[in-house]
Structure 1
Amino acid sequence: MKGIQIKPLLVSDADSIPALTKTGVRRDVFPLTIYSSPNYNLFVQNTILDNSDTKFFGAYLEGRFLGFAEWRTHKDELFLNNIAIQEGEKGLGVGGLLYKYGLSTLKTPYMKALALDVFHDNKGARSWYEKLGYKVHDITYWHVAQQLVKSTSENVTYQVINREQADEHHQKYGFSMLTIQTKQGHYSIGRITNYCFRMDVKGIVDQDLMGALYELDKNRKLLTLNKKPNVEGFKQVCTSLRMKMSLTHQRGGIYGYQNT
């Protein structure tokens, strides 16, 4: 549609991002993502103002906000983290305009690939990305479990390296990352609202880590994103696909981009 303008997302529209993001995530999966955090809009605002490697673009028609795209720039890869259109504005080609603008603005000659994640059951989005030229590169399985009751007789040895900074970030945005050290190693543990701990599947066998998480918050669920379709004691809740497109060869797709 003529008149649609794509430009950096206005800070005033950051409040619309959590609800828009929610439209592309299953209701039972949304609480497992940082987008469910109560202050995620504040995180978006500060990301825009900080001029970080994460870029938000908005689509506008006569001042009306239609949708957005979120890109993450890396040295050799451009990652499309999110793209969502307002319910009443779909079918106008807004998604294609946001995608094209992001590529033309952020892609550099040093980047070797474009990448994105999409949920397996989001067939509409998957079909669109395939038409653009993306192919499935990897599969990630999401598993959730309740924490097991820890015996009071067990001696748990661990240290939270960054507790003060993580708590400050969590209070501000509603999500954070803890660095926990045990006798077996270091672990990066995500905290998503008050709902779950996000962790690598390798940490499940570390009894000190499991005990640490129970002591820190026994009511949180455990979430692991991994390459195994089955994890003992965990329930698989969804599957996401990492899709990629090489920038080293000429390709077709909707826009027929070619690396320079």
Structure 2
Amino acid sequence: MNLRFSPLQEDDIHLACRLLQSNLPESVYNQTIFACGGYPEYLKAACKCGSHSATLLIGAYSEDHLIGFAEWRRMEQMLVLNNLNVDAAYRKVGIGGKLMAYGETLAQKDGISKLALDVFSWNEQAHAWYLRLGFAEEGRTYWYVRDLAPSIDRDREALAYIIDDYPMAEAHHQKYGFSSLKIRTKEKTSVVGRLGEQYYRIQLQSGGWSGCNLLTDVLMDLDREKRLLLLSSDAYLRERDPGLILSTESIRMIKLLENQEVLYE
């Protein structure tokens, strides 16, 4: 098989997104930005500046046919693998390993010595593979879902909050299908993601949730039809909020690179 690894061609981004969807359960897929209708266009925009972009899409090609891809995000101190997918018909021949090696080469070229990724705990085969490649588990994130509910019978007119840069968030949402809001209340400032028309997504800090609160009142004021998607390192969060349903669990994995040649088969 004549394999070629190169930056993903723009015309193949939709193919890569369909490949990504085929490898995730529908319930999990719908809780990610990947399911948002404008995600392919977002990737195109993210890669407009080519090798200078923080987002790097690498395609694996057999002749001119896309059979796998990896999406890397360049952070200040590490390179994060956001996606790695190989067509089912071409697995077990080392394509995934070569995509990983390509990423490690990119990291070393940029002077980055740390790789990171998240893998779902139910994907035991992928988890074991990353362990064999030298990744170690750093922590776990539990994905909880719940319906919105008011904390008290609060007067809507008395609900005080400020949203920073709301017009920009709306423009982003209309174009890509997802966005982020920075909401200021008298209690604190919170960053809340929006995934399509389905979810508000909140990354919780340790001990940062006790059920319905002022923030849920604000979110209900904005759109009471959405559900909450809470990401937390607390495996026992439901003990404080019985309304939560555990949806899935992801594992953050880390690998520290050494100055050596990278060869994966």
TM-score clears 0.5: yes
**Residues matched between the structures, number:** 254
Is 2:234 the partner of 1:235? no
Which residue number in structure 2 is paired with residue 54 of structure 1? 55
1:77 partner letter? M
Other-structure match for 1:190: 193
CA distance in 2, matches of 1:40, 1:204: 32
Q: Aligned-pair distance for 1:208?
A: 2.7
- 1:43-70 deviations in Å (ceiling 9; x for gaps): 1111121332110000111111111001
CA RMSD for the aligned pairs?
A: 2.2
Match of 1:222 among 228, 231, 255: 228
Question: Post-superposition shift, 1:230?
Answer: 2.5
Structure 1's 19 and 188: CA in aligned 2 closer, same or farther, altered over 3 A?
same
Q: In the alignment, is the contact (CA less than 8 A) between 1:187 and 1:203 conserved in 2?
A: no
2:202 maps to 1:199: yes
The unaligned stretches of length 5 or more in structure 2 are: none
- Say if 1:49 and 1:58 are closer, same or farther in 2 by CA, change over 3 A: same
Q: Which amino acid aligns with 1:187?
A: S
Out of 168, 174, 178, the position equivalent to 1:171 is 174
Whether the 8 Å contact between 2:149 and 2:212 is mirrored in structure 1 is: no
Q: Is the 8 A contact 1:132 1:254 kept in 2?
A: no
Which has the larger displacement, 50-59 or 170-179?
50-59
1:35 alignment partner AA = F
Report SS of the residue matched to 2:236.
coil
Match of 2:23 in 1: 24
What is the 5 A alignment of 1:89-100? 89-100=90-101
Contact kept in structure 2, 1:157 and 1:208, CA below 8 Å: no
Deviation at 1:89, TM superposition (A): 2.2
Alignment match, 1:7? 6
Q: Is the 8 Å Cα contact of residues 16 and 41 (structure 1) preserved in structure 2? A: no
> Could you say which residue in structure 2 is the equivalent of 1:213?
219
Alignment-mate amino acid for residue 217 of structure 1:
D
Q: Which ranges of structure 1 fall in alignment gaps of 5 or more residues?
A: none
Contact 2:149 2:217 in 1 (8 A): no
Counterpart CA distance in 2 for 1:204 and 1:20 is 38
Among all aligned residue pairs of Structure 1 and Structure 2, give the percentage whose two residues are the same amino acid: 31
Deviations 1:9-55 (A, max 9, x none): 00000111222222332221111100000111111111121332110
Query: 2:41 matched to which residue of 1?
Result: 42
Q: Matched residues in 1 for 2:16 and 2:86: separation?
A: 10
SS for the counterpart of 2:179 is strand
- Counterparts of 1:108-123 in structure 2, within 5 Å, are 108=109, 110-123=111-124
CA distance in 1, matches of 2:159, 2:251: 36
* 3-state SS in 2 of match to 1:168: helix
- 1:83 counterpart residue number: 84
Residues 18 and 36 of structure 1 are in contact (CA less than 8 Å); yes or no, is this contact kept in structure 2? no
